[in-house]
Structure 1
Amino acid sequence: MKSLDLWFEEYGESHQNPTNQKIHKVAVPGIFFSVAGFLWLIPSLSVAGVNIAPYFIVLAFVLGFYAMMSIKAFIVMTAFSMFCTLILVQLQHAQVSVFVLSSALFIPLWILQFVGHHIEGKKPSFFKDIQFLLIGPAWVFHFFFPLTKHDS
Structure 2
Amino acid sequence: MEEVTKKPVEVLLEHYAESHRHPINEVIHCICVPAIMWTILGLFWSIHPLVAVSVCVVSLIYYFQLSPKLFVGMLIMSTIMLALLFILPSSTILPLSVSIFVVAWIGQFIGHYLEGKKPSFFEDLRYLLIGPLFVLGFLYRKYQVSI
TM-score (norm 2): 0.88
Which structure 2 residues correspond to residues 29-40 of structure 1 after superposition, within 5 A? Answer: 29-40=34-45
Q: Is 1:103 matched with 2:98?
A: yes
Please tell me the residue identity of whatever aligns with 2:8: S
The answer on 1:68 being equivalent to 2:65 is: yes
Partner of 2:110: 115
SS class of match (1:142): helix
Match of residue 87, structure 1, among 84, 105, 112: 84
Q: Does 2:31 align with 1:26?
A: yes
Measure how far apart 1:151 and its partner are.
Answer: 4.3
Higher helix share: 2
Give the C-alpha shift of residue 96 in structure 1. 5.1
Secondary structure at the aligned position of 2:19 is classed as coil
Alpha-carbon distance between aligned partners in 1 of 2:98 and 2:37, rounded to the nearest angstrom:
12
Unaligned residue ranges in structure 2 (runs of 5+): 1-6
After superposition, residues 113-152 of structure 1 pair within 5 angstroms as 113-146=108-141, 151=146
Q: Distance in 1 between matches of 2:97 and 2:51?
A: 17
CA shift for structure 1 position 27: 0.3
Identify the residue that residue 49 of structure 1 maps to in structure 2. Answer: none
One-letter amino acid matched to 2:44: L
Q: Look up the equivalent residue of 1:16 and give its one-letter code.
A: R
Q: Is the 8 A contact 2:69 2:146 kept in 1?
A: no
Distance 2:30 2:53 in 1: 25
The amino acid across from 2:122 in the alignment is F
Deviating 4+ runs (over 2 angstroms) = none
How big is the shift at 1:43?
Answer: 3.1
| Cα distance between partner residues in 2 of 1:151 and 1:120 | 27
Q: Structure 2: how far apart are the matches of 1:151 and 1:72?
A: 8
Q: TM-score, normalised by structure 1?
A: 0.86
Identity %: 37
Structure 2 residue identity aligned to 1:62: S
Counterpart Cα distance in 2 of 1:74 and 1:43? 24
What do you get for the CA RMSD once the two structures are aligned? Answer: 1.8
> In structure 2, what is the Cα distance between the partners aligned to 1:118 and 1:32?
21
